[in-house]
Every structure is written in C-alpha cells, then in structure tokens.
Amino acid sequence: MNIKWDANKYTEDFSFVHQYGNSVIELIDADKGSFVLDLGCGNGTLTKVLQDKGYCVKGLDASEGLLSNCKRKISYY
C-alpha cells in the first residue's frame, strides 16, 4: 500500500468517511451477533458503531497507527 495515513489527524481530515459509512451500515440486514469483517477499519469509528449494533466485529487495516486507535475504541470479549 503506498498511502501513509496520519493516525493522529485522521478524524480531523477524514470524518466525512464515517458519515458516508454510517449510511452504508444502515443497509446491513443481518441478525445481531452476526460476524462482520471491517476491512480497512481505519481508526475504528465505524467498527465501534457496528459493535454497538450488536455485531461481532473484527477490524483489519494495513495502517498500524490507525489499527492501534481502533483497538482502543472497541471492546473484546
């Protein structure tokens, strides 16, 4: 991957991505407890939304910094 994301500035610069993503999440028609792979989870803002909706979420991202921020947001069971 040739894009270097600034994990500290991601929310400041790219929060519009979460807004688009929220409307996509509304389209998910799966039972609570379903497994969801959030591929390209970034800082985990939407990963957390998915988890709060009751899905069993796994976030995956190529950026170590963003993935680390994601890990701080979500709960582990």
Ligand X SMILES: C[S@@+](CC[C@H](N)C(=O)[O-])C[C@H]1O[C@@H](n2cnc3c(N)ncnc32)[C@H](O)[C@@H]1O
Q: Which positions touch ligand X (CB under 6 A)?
A: 1, 5, 14, 17-18, 21, 40-42, 45-46, 61-63, 66
Nearer Cβ to ligand X (42/55):
42
CA distance 32 to 34: 5
Min dist CB 39 to ligand X, Å, is: 6
Rounded to the nearest whole angstrom, what is the least distance from the CB of residue 31 to ligand X in the complex?
23
Smallest distance from the beta carbon of 45 to ligand X, in angstroms? Answer: 6
